[in-house]
Structure 1
């Protein structure tokens, strides 16, 4: 079959090639509705497919954005990625999503692969294990935005939430409801959010004059959480409340609770830091520290676009507030 060209579309629509080019690039400033309709009809009738490679060479852009997620299993990561993809769709761009599995080596390979494919920029949920590579991108002024995790010493646009303050508020809520033996379970303290959430937990206890108990603070691999909970709930003074620092920790906690037939909130109040599906319709409903995932993804996309268009001046840190959504699982002590 003969390849349909822009010239064929122009001839069919009765306009110039430059007018068709303006239409394809959505430059409608001086284009009437009738002209737009004629070009659109000609494209549909001829089955014209724009040559994106030629467009990329001419404009020095591929209209592709790379997203490297630290761990796609986290609900909030999926929600943020969806927001970025929506933004790309609205702005005639394409998103390529990669999952690093919290593996710095895998993250490095994805960064190199996406840059080799000449994506216009990257949105990264950084593992924190490639500081040298992050710094190189910063020095090259390559368009990149960090999401969810702040990397000390690297000056790149970063979008995070108020992890410490939000956790402090949640623990204070439990204290105000009469709880004193409050536990927290987190994955290993290898990332900025996990460290900040533990810091917020400690801050709330200290502000209320409650001594820290190392037996109630566990930062371990997800696979080891059940074992640590066994030890924790074998203590003479068991926790009466528990904060799960993310969704994967929460699922392990809930599995343990079900296995031990612990009643929520009568025997144990529970709060989870993350966006949990069906939290508002489970039995009992679950108190969550909700992150504004969609807004985070949209802001990250806007920041990256600003860099791609060379409108950025200096890197900035954007911190979104979380919302403590109080439900049945965090009720006060009987």
Structure 2
């Protein structure tokens, strides 16, 4: 296999300067038409493709955006990425997607890799990196859009879900249905949005004068391992409703109820969070705090595009509010109470 041609090789063959080749490759106007056609024929004849690094040295742009996420297998992120990718592609930008599996070492390595590739910008969802680290990193890779994090510094915009509102609204909905023994499953403490859901839950109990029971608050890791066991623990505490930090955790709760011969919602009400597509296919369909995930991805991408262009105004902070969408996984407590008093097999003992 012959040596791969460089931009200097093409310039020598065409008998023009390296700068002329660069202008043709980047469709710049400062080249007369006959020279442009001559260079294009040489490029086509030799099948020349400029390296990303060489192009970026001339244009100072790579047309590449790094997207750093903890878990692409989670449909929450998958739908957001779909909105991001489609919007960036429509603006001639490519996605450099990296998943960290919530490993702090991988996050730092991928951020360094993005810097080495001289990406035009980054979309960063990083539950592991603390604020001092984010403040140190952002100037090196800006512009940056943070998902579900808020850092007030130059070169960054933030798009986050009002999880406090979501936690409050889901708990309030259950309380207004007559439930007072409500369990909650939240993610790890490092996940800011998960902790905000918990604070909203606590405020709803307070507003309705329902005592807070610490043993009805359960935490799991982001991979949802242990949800089945935790759901069993809550059921043994005789909760009549469980609200969760995402729809996948809610799906685990539904399965736990099935395994224990409990019917949802006849014996237990369950609420999720995110509104991923699979909630429509659960049995029963899931009541959830729904988010416009695809549109969130579009919003994130459009903000970053404005930041890259540098001549357009953009929102430093964009807040997305979840909306309660009722499925068939919740029921008023008075209905549940009748079934329990009738001594049916769903009795929680």
Band of TM-score, shorter chain: 0.7 to 0.9
C-alpha separation between the residues in 1 aligned to 2:231 and 2:148? 27
Q: What residue in structure 2 maps to residue 280 of structure 1? A: 280
C-alpha separation between the residues in 2 aligned to 1:231 and 1:19? 67
Residue ranges of structure 2 left out of the alignment (5+ in a row): 12-19, 30-36, 336-349
C-alpha separation between the residues in 1 aligned to 2:162 and 2:128? 19
Is 1:289 aligned to residue 285 of structure 2? no
Superposed displacement of residue 210, structure 1: 0.9
Q: What residue in structure 1 maps to residue 209 of structure 2? A: 209
C-alpha separation between the residues in 2 aligned to 1:280 and 1:90? 30
C-alpha separation between the residues in 2 aligned to 1:215 and 1:132? 33
Superposed displacement of residue 57, structure 1: 2.7
SS of equivalent to 1:188: coil
Q: How does 1:1-334 map to 2 (within 5 A)?
A: 24=27, 51=50, 53=52, 54-140=54-140, 142-150=142-150, 156-221=156-221, 222-235=224-237, 238-311=238-311, 316-333=316-333, 334=335
C-alpha separation between the residues in 1 aligned to 2:133 and 2:284? 46
Q: How far does the alpha carbon of each residue in 1:202-256 deviate from its partner, in whole angstroms, 9 at most, with x for none?
A: 1111111111111211113332332233222223xx1111111113422331231
TM-score (norm 1): 0.81
SS of equivalent to 1:329: coil
Residue ranges of structure 1 left out of the alignment (5+ in a row): 8-15, 28-37
Superposed displacement of residue 108, structure 1: 0.6
C-alpha separation between the residues in 2 aligned to 1:234 and 1:198? 21
C-alpha separation between the residues in 1 aligned to 2:49 and 2:65? 19
C-alpha separation between the residues in 2 aligned to 1:67 and 1:140? 15
Superposed displacement of residue 110, structure 1: 0.7
C-alpha separation between the residues in 2 aligned to 1:139 and 1:88? 22
Superposed displacement of residue 19, structure 1: 10
1:75/1:275 contact within 8 Å kept: no
C-alpha separation between the residues in 1 aligned to 2:140 and 2:113? 17
TM-score (norm 2): 0.78
1:143/1:308 contact within 8 Å kept: yes
Task: Give me the CA root mean square deviation.
Answer: 3.4
Superposed displacement of residue 60, structure 1: 0.7
C-alpha separation between the residues in 2 aligned to 1:298 and 1:68? 16
**CA distance 1:288–1:245, change in 2 (3 Å):** same
| Aligned residue pair count | 312
